[in-house]
Amino acid sequence: MTLSIEPQSKLSLAAFLNLPETEPASEYIDGSVYQKPMPQGKHSLIQTEFASTINQQGKPRKLALALTELRCTFGGRSLVPDIAVFEWSRIPVDENGEIANRFESHPDWVIEILSPEQSPNRVINKIIFSIQHQTKLGWFIDPQDRSIMVFQPNQLPEVKYDSDMLPILNVLSDWQVRVADIFSFLGSSLLGMLNQ
């Protein structure tokens, strides 16, 4: 269940950013605050494993970086995608040349994984908003029916299944990913390890 904190009057973005962080994270959308649900097993495993896989492809060659549960503030909203991927040249750095704490820009690729108690339309709205604010690629992963809805600028969304190939960021173009690859993180090899 997604909780909504409904203020008497609309909260400003600046006021929201001064609130203490919540666990799980809260997001600011159109003057209202919505708390994300606590990730469950399938959601958490896909999020952890796929972010790690993206980083194995992108970090060694300084192409892209995937970060989980990162607050991204842009376009008047403050969102916390399940996975936010930034092309290497767009990773903000601080005065010490280290990764910045605040990301005040859109991710290049936003990945959301549906949890059972989430509203699909609210999650899809976050992806559409990101695409409208210069995000290049959005994925909506639904573990229940093993599908991935793909969002790209100036295109209708597409739903992909099984052996369908998935579009990825251009900087990672030599890497190929199928829908089945994403859901393989939940598969029998893990179960075999757990039953030993």
Closest CA to 114 of 84, 67, 146, 91: 146
CATH of the domain at 110: 3.90.1570.10
Would you say residue 136 has pLDDT above 60? yes
d(CA 174, CA 83): 21
Is 19 a member of any domain?
A: no
Is 8 a member of any domain?
A: no
Helix (H/G/I), strand (E/B), else coil: 126:
helix
The answer to whether the bond into 39 is cis (omega within 30° of 0) is no
Write the DSSP assignment of 67-117 as a string of letters. EES--EEETTEEE--SEEEEEGGG--B-TTSSBPS-B-S--SEEEEE--TT
Is 16 a member of any domain?
A: no
Higher pLDDT, 75 or 187: 75
Is 98 a member of any domain?
A: yes
Is 12 a member of any domain?
A: no
Confidence of residue 190 (pLDDT cuts 50, 70, 90): low
Domain that holds residue 89: 39-194
Q: How many structural domains is the chain composed of? A: 1
Is 140 a member of any domain?
A: yes
Is 55 a member of any domain?
A: yes
Q: Given this model, what pLDDT does residue 61 score?
A: 97
Would you say residue 194 has pLDDT above 80? no
Closest CA to 150 of 175, 177, 174: 177
Residue where the block lists tokens 């209202």:
32
Q: Given this model, what pLDDT does residue 39 score?
A: 87
d(CA 107, CA 96): 22
Is 9 a member of any domain?
A: no
Angle at 46 between CA 139 and CA 37, to 5 degrees: 80
